[in-house]
C-alpha cells in the first residue's frame, strides 16, 4: 500500500511534468503567492510575469521564448526548499528567481549551490552576500537593502531636521528588521542624534496603540521604521491618533504610493529606490497600460519591482546568447548593465564582485498638503556600493 | 491614563472575539479554530458591501452583518452538522480545515493586498480626547461600545430569551434538551451564527481602525487565551479573561519588553491552567471528551 | 498486538509464533518485495522525487511519535511543531556554538526533547482533552519565542545554516545517501513503536486512553505512564527535528509554525487514529497531497498565466479535501484500507456473516 501510494503519486508527478521545452529559456520562480507575505511578494512575481509575457509576445529573446515556471512557497522555508529542488533538478531551470520571506533564503541558497545555478532575488530583501565581495551565485534587483537604507535615511533626517534630532525606532519582531534597526540606532548615535526609544513589534499585533504610547512618551521628534509595510504604517497611524506630531520616515514598499494618498499627512516621508507613478514617466504609462490589458489583480504601481526584474532578466538572457545553460547565464549576470528607464535613479550594474549594484539611488517622497498630491521631497541621492 | 485606555481597547478586542469561542463551545463542546478566519471574512464582506453601496454606509454595514450571520449558519449546516457526535478532535480539525479553506478563498476573491474598508465607507477616524490627556480613536471607542452592547445583548438573550434558554439547555445536556423537543440543529446553527456575527463585528472594527490584511487570523488565535483563562463556557469569564490578558499584555509592553507581547497571553494561560484548569468562571467538568 | 484473524485458517501453535512481527509467508514475501522496492527506488527516481520521499520519511517519524502520544496514550498535544523546533535548534545552536558533530547533537536533541516532554507532559497530570491541548500550544509559543530570540541576538537573521553531517571526514550531501539515512531512521522509529506497543508500556497506554480510572484500578501508574508517553514521543519528535535541520541544512523559527502542528495532526487523524499504519499513510498523504493538486492544476492549459489565482485555489483545496475526509471518512485512510482488504477477503460475498466467528 505504502509503495503503491508512493509509486502512484510519483508516477503522477513525472507524467504531469513533461520534460521542459528545449527551445526556450527556462526560468524558475518561487515566491510567497499565498500566506501572510503574499501582499508584499505576490506583486513582484506578477510584474515579472507581465514583462515576460510582453517579451514573448514580441518574439522572445534571441528568437527564443522564455518559459517562466512559477511555484508558490507560502513564505515557508521547507516549501521553498522543495520548490527550489524541483525547479532545479526536474525543470532544469537555468536561473532561479526568489521573491519570498527572508527565512526562505538559507534553504533556497543551499539548493542553488548544490545545482550550481544562479539565484536572483527580486522583491525580497537583498542579503549581505550580494555586496562586494559578492557570493558567486547570489544576485539581487530588489530596491531595499540592509545598511545602505539606514544610512540614506539618517542622512536625510540630519539634513532636513532643523533642531537637534531625538529619534525613535520601530521594527517588526523578525530578525531582519530588528538587525537593521539596531544598526540604524548605532549609526544615529554616531551621527550625533539622540536615540530615545526602540519598539520591536510582533507581526501579530491586534492594537498598535500600546507600542505607540511608549514611543510617544519618549518624546521623539523623528521616528524611523524599517519593517514590512503593515508595521510601519500601523505604528504611524497609532502615533497620530495619540496626538504625536513629529516627522515619521519609513521605507517605500510597493504599497507606498496609494498609502501616501490615503494618509495625506505632510510629515509622513517614504524613502525608496523606486520612482513612484506620480512622476508619470513614459515607462509608468506603459506599465499601467500593460497591467490593464493583462487584468492584473494588484494595483499597477505595485508592478515596478517585477518590471525591473524583467528588464534585468532580458538583458542577462540577451547577453547569455543561445543556447544558454546555467553557467553561461551566471557568467552573463556578472557583467551586465541595465537601464532602468527612470524606474530607479540610475542603472543596475553587476560586476564580478558586486551583485547588488555599483550605485544605489535613494529618493524621498511625501504627501504635499499644499499641492494635495504626492511630491518628491528629496531627489535622487547616490551611494557608491563598495 | 493612556495605559488604561490601551488596556480597555485591547480587552474589548479580545472580549468581542472570545465570546464567539464561548458561544460555540458552550453548546457543542467544539473549539472553533476558524474563528479568526471568520472574523476576517466578515471584515472583507464589509469591504465589498462598502464598495457596492457607496452612498449608503449604514446599508453597507447592515448588509455585511446579515451576510456574516448567513455565513455562520452555512458553515454549520453545510459542514459542521456532519461532525456532531464525532470525535471532538476531528471536529476541531475540521474547523482548522475550514480556516485554511477560508484563507485560500479570501486570497482568491480579494487578493492578498491590504484593503481599507474605512475609505470605502468614506468614514474618517478622528481621535477623541479623554480626561487626563488620554486619546482614543473613534473606531476603538466604537469597539468598546460594541463590546458592551454585544455582551449586554447576549446576557439578556441567554437569561430571558426563549431561544437563549434553549441554547443554555442544549449546552447543559443535549440529550435531555432534544427529548424536551428542542431542535438541536437549529440551536447549533444559532450558536454558529451568533459566534460568526460577533467575530465579524470585531473583525470589521479592527479593519476599520487599522486596515485589513491577512494578519487578522493570528489576532483571532490570540483571543483564544482570554476565552480559556475565563473558562470556555462562561461569557462573564471571557470578559474577565480578556481584561486580565489585555492588562498583562499592555503592562508587559510598557514596563518589561515589547517583544513579550506575543508570549504573554499564553504565559497567563499556562498560569491559569495550572491554578484553575477549567478557567476562572468555567464549570468544573469531566474534561476528557476526546 | 491484536490482529484480526486471516481468511485462511492460520493458527499460531507456539508463543514464538505469536510474538513474531512477521507471521505468514505471504506477509514475509510482500514485506520483502516492499523493502526491495524501497531500496531500489533511488536508482530510478529523480532528485525531486527523492526529495519528496525524504520529506515523507521525515514526516513519518514525526507522525509516528504523535500517534504514540495521541492515538495510543490519548494525550492531545498541539506542541508538536515546538518539539520539532526544539530538536532542530539544539542541532543549530550546538553546531554554531561548539561545532559539535552529529553523534553529539542527535543524542543531545533527544535529551532536550525528553526534557521538554516532561515539561509538556506535566500539565497532563492535571488536565485532559482540550485544556491539555491548549497548554501544549502555549509551550509551543514559548519554544518558538526562545528560538527567535537566539536567532535575533546572534544575528542569524535569515536562519542558522547547518553544515551537512560528516561521517569519517566525508560530508553527507548526496540525495541518495540521505534517502537511505532517513529511510533507516523512519524504519527504526517504526520498529521501536511496534515493540513499545506490544509490550507492557503500550498496553498501559491503551488502558489509559480508554479510561483512566479503570487503568489506575488495574495497577497502572497513570502519572508515570503519561509522562513516559510524553518523554518518548517528544524525544523521537526532537530527533526528527534534528534530522530535518541536517537534511535541509538550516534552522529558523519560521519553519516551525503552528501550521506544521496542524499538518501533523492532520496526518494522524486523516491516517486513522490508533494505528501505526495510519500514521504512515497519513504522513504520505499530507506530504504529497499539496504537490499532487499543484501538479494537477499546473497541467491545466494556461495555468502559469494565472499563477497567483492558481495557488490560492491550491491553498483552499488542501482545506477542502481535509474537510471532506473528516466528514466522510472518520476512520481515516486506515479505514479505507481495511475496507479494501475486507472486500478482497470476503469476495465474492459482500458482508461478513452476522454474529459468531469472524472471517
pLDDT at C359: 38
- Beta-carbon separation of C298 and A16 below 8 A: yes
Q: Confidence class of residue B70 from pLDDT cuts 50, 70 and 90?
A: very high
What does the mean pLDDT of chain A come to? 88
Q: Who has greater pLDDT, A360 or A11?
A: A360
Please list every residue in chain C whose beta carbon sits closer than 8 Å to the beta carbon of residue B261: none
Distance from C-alpha of B31 to C-alpha of B21, rounded to nearest angstrom:
7
Hey, is the C-beta of C32 within 8 angstroms of any chain A C-beta? Answer: no
pLDDT tens-digit series, residues B111-151:
777 888 888 888 888 888 887 778 888 889 999 999 999 99
Task: Over range A319-333, report the average pLDDT.
Answer: 88
pTM to 2 decimals? 0.85
pLDDT at C283: 95
- CATH code at C68? 1.10.3470
Given strand A95-99, what is the order of strands in its sheet?
A65-72, A24-31, A95-99, A119-121, A138-140
Name the nearest CA neighbour of C149 among A368, B257, B140: B257
Question: In this structure, is residue B166 part of a structural domain?
Answer: yes
Question: In this structure, is residue C190 part of a structural domain?
Answer: yes
pLDDT at A8: 52
- Beta-carbon separation of B83 and C326 below 8 A: yes
The chains found to touch A (3+ Cβ pairs under 8 angstroms) are B, C
pLDDT tens-digit series, residues A290-310:
989 888 888 888 999 999 999
pLDDT at A114: 84
Question: In this structure, is residue B92 part of a structural domain?
Answer: yes
Give me the interface pTM, i.e. the ipTM.
0.87
Q: Specify whether the CB–CB gap between A168 and A223 falls below 8 A.
A: yes
Question: In this structure, is residue B135 part of a structural domain?
Answer: yes
Q: Structurally, how many domains does chain B consist of?
A: 1
Q: Confidence class of residue B289 from pLDDT cuts 50, 70 and 90?
A: very low
Please list every residue in chain A whose beta carbon sits closer than 8 Å to the beta carbon of residue B218: 203-204
- Beta-carbon separation of A34 and B218 below 8 A: no
- Beta-carbon separation of C131 and B104 below 8 A: no
Task: Give B109-127 as a 3 state SS string.
Answer: HHCCCCECHHHHCCCCCCE
Q: What 3-state class would DSSP assign to A121?
A: strand
Helices (H) and strands (E) in chain B, counts: 13, 2
The chains found to touch B (3+ Cβ pairs under 8 angstroms) are A, C
Q: Structurally, how many domains does chain C consist of?
A: 1
Among C residues 273-302, those touching chain B with beta carbons less than 8 Å apart: 273
Please list every residue in chain A whose beta carbon sits closer than 8 Å to the beta carbon of residue C295: 12-13, 16-17
- Beta-carbon separation of A204 and B13 below 8 A: no
- Give the structural domain span for C282: 25-290
Q: Confidence class of residue A16 from pLDDT cuts 50, 70 and 90?
A: very low
Q: Tell me which residue in C52, C255, C288 faces A77 most closely, judged by beta carbons.
A: C255
Chain B nearest C-alpha distance from A80 (Å)? 18
Question: In this structure, is residue C310 part of a structural domain?
Answer: no
Cell of B178: 432534544
pLDDT at A121: 93
pLDDT at C358: 44
Phi, psi of B135 (to 5 degrees): -130, 150
Hey, is the C-beta of C327 within 8 angstroms of any chain B C-beta? Answer: yes
Q: Confidence class of residue B267 from pLDDT cuts 50, 70 and 90?
A: confident
Question: In this structure, is residue C351 part of a structural domain?
Answer: no
Bridge partner residues of A99 (DSSP): A31
Question: In this structure, is residue C323 part of a structural domain?
Answer: no
Task: Over range B44-56, report the average pLDDT.
Answer: 88
Among C residues 121-140, those touching chain B with beta carbons less than 8 Å apart: 123, 126-131, 134-135, 137-139
Question: In this structure, is residue B77 part of a structural domain?
Answer: yes
What chain A holds in terms of domains, given with CATH numbers, is 2-143+281-360 (3.40.50.2300), 148-272+362-384 (3.40.50.2300)
pLDDT tens-digit series, residues B193-228:
999 999 999 999 999 888 888 778 888 888 888 988
Distance from C-alpha of C6 to C-alpha of C358, rounded to nearest angstrom:
9
Question: In this structure, is residue C315 part of a structural domain?
Answer: no
pLDDT lower than 70: segments of chain C: 1-10, 303-305, 351-359
Please list every residue in chain C whose beta carbon sits closer than 8 Å to the beta carbon of residue B214: none
Is the pLDDT at A326 greater than 80? The verdict is: yes
- Beta-carbon separation of A243 and B135 below 8 A: yes
Please list every residue in chain B whose beta carbon sits closer than 8 Å to the beta carbon of residue A35: 214
Determine what percent of chain B is predicted with pLDDT higher than 70: 98
pLDDT at C91: 95
Chain A nearest C-alpha distance from C250 (Å)? 6
pLDDT at C22: 76
How many other CB atoms are there within 10 angstroms of residue B58's CB atom? 9
Hey, is the C-beta of B200 within 8 angstroms of any chain A C-beta? Answer: no
- Give the structural domain span for B103: 18-214
- Beta-carbon separation of C156 and A46 below 8 A: no
Q: Confidence class of residue B257 from pLDDT cuts 50, 70 and 90?
A: confident
pLDDT at C245: 92
Hey, is the C-beta of B37 within 8 angstroms of any chain A C-beta? Answer: no
pLDDT tens-digit series, residues A199-251:
999 887 888 999 999 999 999 999 999 998 889 999 999 999 898 999 999 99
Please list every residue in chain A whose beta carbon sits closer than 8 Å to the beta carbon of residue C288: 5-6, 9
Question: In this structure, is residue B190 part of a structural domain?
Answer: yes
Give the residue on C whose Cα is nearest the Cα of B271. Answer: C135
Q: What 3-state class would DSSP assign to A223?
A: strand
Amino acid at each position: 500500500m505504502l509503495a503503491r501510494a508512493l509509486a502512484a503519486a510519483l508516477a503522477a508527478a513525472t507524467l504531469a511534468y513533461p520534460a521542459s521545452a528545449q527551445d526556450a529559456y527556462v526560468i524558475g520562480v518561487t515566491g510567497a503567492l499565498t500566506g501572510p507575505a503574499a501582499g508584499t511578494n505576490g506583486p513582484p512575481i506578477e510584474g515579472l510575469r507581465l514583462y515576460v509575457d510582453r517579451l514573448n509576445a514580441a518574439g522572445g529573446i534571441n528568437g527564443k521564448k522564455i518559459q517562466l515556471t512559477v511555484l508558490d512557497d507560502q513564505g515557508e522555508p521547507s516549501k521553498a526548499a522543495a520548490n527550489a529542488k524541483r525547479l532545479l533538478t526536474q525543470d532544469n531551470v537555468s536561473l532561479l528567481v526568489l521573491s519570498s520571506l527572508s527565512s526562505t533564503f538559507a534553504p533556497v541558497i543551499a539548493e542553488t549551490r548544490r545545482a550550481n545555478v544562479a539565484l536572483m532575488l527580486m522583491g525580497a530583501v537583498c542579503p549581505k552576500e550580494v555586496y562586494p565581495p559578492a557570493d558567486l551565485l547570489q544576485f539581487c534587483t530588489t530596491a531595499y537593502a540592509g545598511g545602505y537604507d539606514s544610512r540614506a535615511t539618517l542622512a536625510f533626517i540630519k539634513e532636513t531636521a532643523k533642531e537637534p534630532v531625538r529619534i525613535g525606532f520601530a521594527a517588526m519582531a523578525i530578525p531582519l528588521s530588528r538587525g537593521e534597526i539596531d544598526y540604524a540606532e548605532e549609526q544615529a548615535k554616531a551621527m550625533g542624534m539622540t536615540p530615545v526609544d526602540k519598539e520591536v513589534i510582533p507581526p501579530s499585533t491586534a492594537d498598535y496603540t500600546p507600542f505607540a504610547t511608549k514611543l510617544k512618551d519618549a518624546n521623539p521628534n523623528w521616528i524611523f521604521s524599517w519593517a514590512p509595510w503593515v508595521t510601519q504604517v500601523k505604528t504611524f497611524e497609532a502615533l497620530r491618533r495619540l496626538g504625536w506630531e513629529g516627522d515619521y520616515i519609513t521605507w517605500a514598499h510597493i504599497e507606498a504610493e496609494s498609502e501616501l494618498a490615503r494618509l495625506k499627512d505632510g510629515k509622513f516621508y517614504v524613502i525608496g529606490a523606486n520612482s513612484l507613478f506620480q512622476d508619470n514617466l513614459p515607462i509608468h504609462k506603459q506599465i499601467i497600460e500593460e497591467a490593464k490589458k493583462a487584468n492584473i489583480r494588484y494595483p499597477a504601481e505595485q508592478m515596478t519591482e517585477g518590471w525591473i526584474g524583467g528588464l534585468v532578466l532580458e538583458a542577462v538572457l540577451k547577453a547569455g546568447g543561445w543556447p544558454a545553460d546555467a553557467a553561461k547565464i551566471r557568467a552573463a549576470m556578472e557583467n551586465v548593465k541595465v537601464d532602468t528607464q527612470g524606474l530607479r535613479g540610475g542603472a543596475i550594474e553587476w560586476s564580478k564582485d558586486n551583485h547588488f549594484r555599483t550605485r544605489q539611488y535613494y529618493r524621498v517622497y511625501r504627501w504635499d498638503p499644499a499641492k494635495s498630491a504626492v511630491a518628491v521631497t528629496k531627489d535622487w541621492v547616490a551611494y557608491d556600493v563598495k | 491614563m493612556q495605559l488604561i485606555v490601551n488596556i480597555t481597547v485591547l480587552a474589548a478586542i479580545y472580549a468581542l472575539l472570545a465570546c464567539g469561542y464561548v458561544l460555540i463551545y458552550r453548546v457543542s463542546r467544539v473549539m472553533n479554530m476558524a474563528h479568526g478566519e471568520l472574523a476576517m471574512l466578515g471584515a472583507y464582506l464589509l469591504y465589498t458591501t462598502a464598495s457596492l453601496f457607496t452612498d449608503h454606509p449604514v446599508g453597507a454595514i447592515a448588509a455585511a452583518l446579515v451576510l456574516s450571520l448567513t455565513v455562520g449558519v452555512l458553515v454549520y449546516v453545510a459542514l459542521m452538522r456532519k461532525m456532531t457526535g464525532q470525535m471532538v478532535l476531528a471536529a476541531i480539525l475540521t474547523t482548522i480545515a475550514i480556516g485554511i479553506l477560508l484563507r485560500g478563498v479570501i486570497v482568491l476573491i480579494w487578493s492578498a493586498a491590504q484593503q481599507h474598508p474605512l475609505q470605502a465607507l468614506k468614514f474618517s477616524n478622528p481621535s477623541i480626547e479623554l480626561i487626563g490627556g488620554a486619546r482614543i480613536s473613534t473606531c476603538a471607542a466604537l469597539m468598546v461600545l460594541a463590546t458592551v452592547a454585544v455582551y449586554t445583548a447576549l446576557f439578556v438573550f441567554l437569561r430571558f430569551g426563549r431561544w437563549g434558554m434553549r441554547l443554555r439547555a442544549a449546552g447543559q445536556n443535549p440529550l435531555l434538551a432534544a427529548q424536551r423537543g428542542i431542535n438541536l440543529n437549529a440551536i447549533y446553527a444559532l450558536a454558529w451564527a451568533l459566534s460568526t456575527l460577533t467575530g465579524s463585528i470585531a473583525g470589521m472594527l479592527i479593519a476599520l481602525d487599522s486596515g485589513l490584511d491577512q494578519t487578522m487570523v493570528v489576532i483571532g488565535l490570540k483571543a483564544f487565551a482570554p476565552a480559556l483563562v475565563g473558562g470556555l463556557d462562561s461569557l462573564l469569564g471571557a470578559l474577565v479573561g480578556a481584561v486580565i490578558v489585555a492588562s498583562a499584555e499592555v503592562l508587559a509592553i510598557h514596563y518589561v519588553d515589547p517583544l513579550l507581547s506575543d508570549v504573554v497571553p499564553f504565559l497567563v494561560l499556562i498560569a491559569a491552567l495550572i491554578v484553575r484548569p477549567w478557567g476562572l468562571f468555567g464549570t468544573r467538568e469531566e474534561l476528557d471528551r476526546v | 498486538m491484536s490482529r484480526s484473524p486471516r481468511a485462511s485458517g492460520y493458527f499460531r501453535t507456539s508463543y514464538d509464533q505469536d510474538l513474531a512481527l512477521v507471521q505468514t509467508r505471504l506477509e514475509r514475501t510482500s514485506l520483502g518485495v516492499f523493502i526491495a522496492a524501497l531500496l531500489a527506488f533511488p536508482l530510478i527516481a529523480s532528485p525531486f522525487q527523492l526529495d519528496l520521499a525524504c520529506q515523507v520519511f521525515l514526516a513519518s517519524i514525526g507522525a509516528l511519535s504523535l500517534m504514540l502520544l495521541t492515538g495510543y496514550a490519548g494525550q492531545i498535544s498541539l506542541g508538536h511543531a515546538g518539539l520539532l523546533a526544539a530538536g532542530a535548534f539544539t542541532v543549530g545552536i550546538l553546531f554554531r556554538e561548539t561545532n559539535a558533530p552529529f553523534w553529539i547533537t542527535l543524542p543531545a536533541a533527544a535529551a532536550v526533547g525528553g526534557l521538554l516532554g516532561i515539561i509538556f507532559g506535566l500539565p497532563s497530570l492535571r488536565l485532559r482533552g482540550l485544556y491539555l491541548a491548549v497548554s501544549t500550544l502555549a509551550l509551543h509559543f514559548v519554544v518558538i519565542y526562545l528560538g527567535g530570540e537566539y536567532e535575533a541576538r546572534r544575528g542569524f537573521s535569515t536562519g542558522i545554516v547547518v553544515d551537512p553531517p560528516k561521517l569519517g571526514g566525508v560530508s553527507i550531501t548526496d540525495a541518495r545517501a540521505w534517502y537511505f539515512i532517513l529511510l533507516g531512521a523512519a524504519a527504526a522509529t517504526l520498529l521501536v513503536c511496534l515493540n513499545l506497543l506490544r509490550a507492557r508500556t503500550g498496553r498501559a497506554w491503551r488502558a489509559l486512553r480508554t479510561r483512566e480510572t479503570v487503568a489506575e484500578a488495574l495497577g497502572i501508574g497513570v502519572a508515570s505512564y503519561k509522562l513516559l508517553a510524553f518523554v518518548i514521543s517528544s524525544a523521537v519528535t526532537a530527533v526528527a527535528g534534528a534530522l530535518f535541520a541536517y537534511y535541509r541544512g538550516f534552522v529558523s523559527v519560521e519553519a516551525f509554525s503552528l501550521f506544521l502542528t496542524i499538518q501533523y495532526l492532520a496526518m494522524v487523524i486523516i491516517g486513522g487514529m490508533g494505528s501505526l499504519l495510519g500514521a504512515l499513510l497519513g504522513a504520505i498523504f499530507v506530504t504529497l497531497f499539496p504537490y499532487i493538486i499543484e501538479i494537477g492544476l499546473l497541467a491545466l492549459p494556461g495555468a502559469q498565466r494565472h499563477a497567483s489565482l492558481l495557488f490560492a485555489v491550491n491553498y483552499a483545496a488542501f482545506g477542502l479535501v481535509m474537510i471532506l475526509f473528516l466528514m466522510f471518512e472518520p476512520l481515516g485512510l486506515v479505514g479505507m484500507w481495511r475496507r479494501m482488504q475486507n472486500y478482497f477477503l470476503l469476495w465474492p460475498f459482500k458482508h461478513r456473516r452476522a454474529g459468531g466467528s469472524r472471517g
